[in-house]
Amino acid sequence: MSVPTPTTAAEATPQPRRKGARLTRERTVYIMNTSHIQISSRVKATVHPYVKQDLANAKYIALYAWTETVLGLSQKDLEERAAHIRQLKWFEDTEIRQAMVAFCTTPHGESHEKGRYGPFAAIVNRAFELAKGNLPGVPNSYPIDDICVVRNDPHDILCIPEHGKLGAERSPDLLFLRAEPARKLLASKAKRVRWIDVLGWIEFKASKKNLLRILNDRRKEYGLGVIDEGTWESRESTPEPYLDLALDGAEIETSVVPTVGRKHARDVEDDENDYSDPTGGPSSGSSAKKLKTTHSPTDGRTDAKIQSGGYALETAACTYGTRSFCIGIVFDNDKMSLWFYDAAGYISITTTLSLLADFEKVLSIFVGFACLGPEGWGAMPSVLSPPSQSPAHFPRASLENHTFTLPRKGRSNVRVTLTKPVFTQYSLVGRRTFVYDIRTSSVVSKEPLVVKLSYQVASRKAEQDLLALAKKAKVEHLPEVHLWGDLWKMSDGIRQIFYDRSSAMSANEDEIASYEDRTLRALVCTKYLPLKGLFAKSWKMIPEMVFQMLDCLHDLRYKAHILHRDLSCNNVMYEVRNGKVCFILNDFDLATVVTDEGEPSAVASSKHRTGTLPFMAYELLKDMTRSNKNGSGPRVMHRLRHELESLLYVTVWSTVATPDAEGKKTEFVDYLRTWEMGTVKSVEKLKWSLCSDPDEVNDIPLPLAVEPLREVFIRWFAILRRAYTKWNEIRYPEESQVSISLQEDFDVETLDGMITRDTVYKAVTEGLVAAGLAECIRTKASDGAILNAENDSREAKANGNKSSGNKANSAIPVNTSNRFPTRATKYVQPKPKAPKAPDPQKSRADKSSQRIPSTTANRGSINASNTSTTKNVDVAKKTVARRIPKAPKSTTTATRTMTTRSMMKTLTSTAKT
């Protein structure tokens, strides 16, 4: 076969654009995102667990619903094309006939499956040539003359440099390619293609199924001679030696394609010749005879469907957001299944087609693929305007120079132009976030800007709205968002067509392509820097990151009533403000609003557990394994203590990943790999060993430079160990004999106050002191944990907390405020008592007894100005009067480090007066 010549823009024929209709009805389960992975080896085991989970949630619909949605070919269209193919006698074409014989007679062994690649590519490419202008609706030129099927195995597809060693090196068997990359792959010195170049793929799995018997039945229908199963020769005529048409006359390995007259050793298991679905599913609908099957589809090897899902993951992750979906085809021997992949999940067909029994329909479908334009292969919707509309530029290397418009409150709209890609999430099902540097048509900020584009669940509260709530509550360490807007919904595109077609063709809910609607959302925000570069230069900033994130997570929960729910190394970034490092908690896509008691304020929009595997709390991972096993949704509610535990894992990860001067990088990479590449169950066990066994914490491999931080981890994990032990006693009272009253009063959110910002703060500080890292301890009065809220300060005084004189210890506040309760689950706002009728005589007596010296009265008024209730004012009066020592008239000092700035200012002015 000669590789087609690329079509020019002038020859291109525009493709019709599909339109959606109704809204969606059901949500798709999204189990996990893999955006966290930064250090990994290229092994398929790293991502196969995620692919398996997505595959388990795939939708299976009617064949013709799939073909009508993706290819624009209805049942009538396919049957009409199949009739033309039969009338034109494609099966009797010399090249196709030879390739079919080679496909069915590959010898068993290591080359059994590989021997089918060349013959199959020859069959499909010959069909493309025969279809031009001869089948209804098939053009003579573009796009069918610019697309071909090429053998790729054993070449690995090139990944993008941004992912480093992320993911797996993959080599699909056959690829749909345009002419230019096909030439590179077929050259004498083959050049590997990029995932960007791949339009689609075909994956094979072969077993010992006897295909020759099925082929002979079809040859009889066409009046052709039967192929002898012993000699592989035609009993009427000897066919010419087979040439691999896909390789344009190149030499064929005799070990792959048999020569004429070669004896074939009959295998005793070779009598499972059938046309039916080997999985026991419905038949393909062919008029050919259907026989029973007992063969093993894959002979114990990796399922082709899992491999195809891995290719879809790599395509989505390595194309910088240029694809809204991708397409794959899987062959189990002669049985073909069609697969569609996008951010909402997988869609396949309920029936399979046989290359032999359904020859005409199979080739009609492949010709349909060759007639697809850019949008048919998953090009982004036109809402992102490309610099050129020419199909000759598809597939594009990135979205560089694509533009779109965002609204700006109170001003004219802003035109956003994408420039350099910054980040692309290693994910297929879910948000699939990708980030670009940008230019804007008008000045939006003096700082560098980026735009985050992601597929967000349409029913979830938008990220910009959550950030607005948090900023209104004066939470710090948040990203600055300047512009935002929803560009496109899945319900406006091909997903809705899938739903409509499958609904019309089946009354069975299991065969309807229901989905969770997602919207492509754009957020323009300030550009921040990743942690990896900072900690490589100064690992002593790790404790400061912990302190700032403790304050941020605590304030989000108790001030703004928000839980982030996806803490990871990628979601904590930093910037330099006034010469100081300020850490930023980014990515609120999965955040949710909670009540005062920590309960979700709205019904969950999806049934999946949120989080990033290496950084998820042990209790959530354990719940995931049970939920997946039972097929139910999450049962353990996500709480603040889970956020604080995730922060611990972020800290450990960042510490282990610190560059090592001794060159032992492999040891640390191997350890981190155990956090990311296993199943949810294996990572759950790893987390439990760290939370329950002190020796496991001592065995964490740390670079020599950061070894002092082990003292922090020992104390932090000790908190979790004590808390989980107590929690198990409460949950299983029959074993621990815990009283019923203790169970009723137990605070679930903080595990009875054992996992809070303050306990973690104290453990980290004690660890730093033990490690001799006093310079890493917060001592400045301006720190967020010291002056986090005036309510914290006043409540601490009301409870009689005394200063120890040690700055390190006094910098650890104890939050027992009624406004921001740590025992949120059991906290109940006291009911106000009904006011009693005033007694005039008693009132005068009370006023007389409450008279105090003028200096003390002034101090009391200071507290009254910072307190919301009369009761707190009275307590504060006594506390301040008792704790403020006598001082010279010119100055007044306060030994209480928790005294607020407003109190100090007023006290000083009073003393001077």
Q: Tens digit of pLDDT for each residue in 858-899?
A: 333 333 333 333 333 333 333 333 333 333 333 333 333 333
CA-based torsion, 168, 172, 177, 183: positive or negative: positive
How far is residue 626's CA from residue 533's CA, in Å, rounded to a whole number?
38
Q: What is the pLDDT of residue 94?
A: 93
DSSP 196: G
CA-based torsion, 465, 466, 469, 470: positive or negative: negative
How far is residue 911's CA from residue 903's CA, in Å, rounded to a whole number?
12
Say which residue, 712 or 393, is predicted with more confidence: 712
Determine the topology of domain 70-214+301-377 in CATH. Answer: tt1808, chain A (3.90.1570)
Say which residue, 663 or 390, is predicted with more confidence: 390
Q: What is the pLDDT of residue 574?
A: 96
Identify whether the C-beta of residue 367 lies closer than 8 Å to the C-beta of residue 128. yes
DSSP 560: S
DSSP 214: H
Q: What is the pLDDT of residue 601?
A: 77
Q: What is the pLDDT of residue 788?
A: 41
Q: Which two tokens stand for residue 701?
A: 């491999």
Q: Does 65 have pLDDT greater than 90? A: yes
Which of 240-254, 347-361, 442-456 comes out lowest in average pLDDT? 240-254
Identify whether the C-beta of residue 610 lies closer than 8 Å to the C-beta of residue 624. no
How far is residue 677's CA from residue 41's CA, in Å, rounded to a whole number?
9
Q: Does 204 have pLDDT greater than 80? A: yes
DSSP 374: G
Unique residue bearing structure tokens 């155990």? 674
- CB burial string 534-555: b at 16+ within 10 A, e below: bbeeebebbbbbbbbbbbbbbb
Give the model confidence (pLDDT) of 756-796 as tens digits: 999 999 999 999 999 999 999 875 433 433 334 334 433 43
Which of 386-400, 479-493, 605-619 comes out lowest in average pLDDT? 605-619
Which sequence spans correspond to the domains of the chain? 70-214+301-377, 398-527, 612-779
Q: Does 847 have pLDDT greater than 70? A: no
Q: Parallel, antiparallel, or unpaired: how do β-strands 481-489 and 518-526 relate?
A: antiparallel
- CB burial string 618-634: b at 16+ within 10 A, e below: bbbbbbbbebbeeeeeb
* Integer Rg of the chain from CA: 34
Say which residue, 676 or 886, is predicted with more confidence: 676
Which of 205-219, 414-428, 531-545, 861-875 comes out lowest in average pLDDT? 861-875
Give the global pTM.
0.75
Q: Does 719 have pLDDT greater than 70? A: yes
> Nearest-CA neighbor of 388 among 373, 406, 403, 376?
403
Q: What is the pLDDT of residue 230?
A: 72
Architecture of domain 398-527: 2-Layer Sandwich (3.30)
Give the model confidence (pLDDT) of 627-667 as tens digits: 666 555 557 889 999 999 999 999 999 999 887 655 567 78
Q: What is the pLDDT of residue 347?
A: 98
Alpha helices, DSSP H only, in 487-540?
494-505, 531-537
Alpha helices, DSSP H only, in 412-540?
463-472, 494-505, 531-537
Give the model confidence (pLDDT) of 462-471 as tens digits: 999 999 999 9
Type of residue at 373: G
How far is residue 602's CA from residue 595's CA, in Å, rounded to a whole number?
9
Give the model confidence (pLDDT) of 528-563 as tens digits: 999 988 998 899 999 999 999 999 999 999 999 999
Which of 119-128, 192-201, 210-219, 251-260 comes out lowest in average pLDDT? 251-260
Q: Does 806 have pLDDT greater than 70? A: no
458: confidence class by pLDDT, cuts 50, 70, 90: very high
11: confidence class by pLDDT, cuts 50, 70, 90: very low
Q: Parallel, antiparallel, or unpaired: how do β-strands 403-408 and 572-577 relate?
A: unpaired
How far is residue 103's CA from residue 600's CA, in Å, rounded to a whole number?
58
Identify whether the C-beta of residue 879 lies closer than 8 Å to the C-beta of residue 860. no
Burial class (CB in 10 A: 0-12, 13-18, 19+), 825: middle
| Average pLDDT score over the chain | 76
Q: Does 827 have pLDDT greater than 70? A: no
How far is residue 791's CA from residue 868's CA, in Å, rounded to a whole number?
9
Q: Does 131 have pLDDT greater than 80? A: yes
Q: What is the pLDDT of residue 302?
A: 63
> Under 8 Å CB-to-CB from 715, ≥6 apart: which residues?
763, 764, 766, 767, 770
Q: What is the pLDDT of residue 507?
A: 87
15: confidence class by pLDDT, cuts 50, 70, 90: very low
Q: Which two tokens stand for residue 618?
A: 């042990």
| Segment (H or E) for 550 | helix 541-558
Give the model confidence (pLDDT) of 686-714 as tens digits: 999 999 999 999 999 999 999 999 999 99
Q: What is the pLDDT of residue 641?
A: 95
Give the model confidence (pLDDT) of 141-168 as tens digits: 889 999 999 999 999 999 887 776 555 7
Which of 29-33, 199-203, 476-480, 517-521 comes out lowest in average pLDDT? 29-33
How far is residue 298's CA from residue 209's CA, in Å, rounded to a whole number?
10
294: confidence class by pLDDT, cuts 50, 70, 90: very low
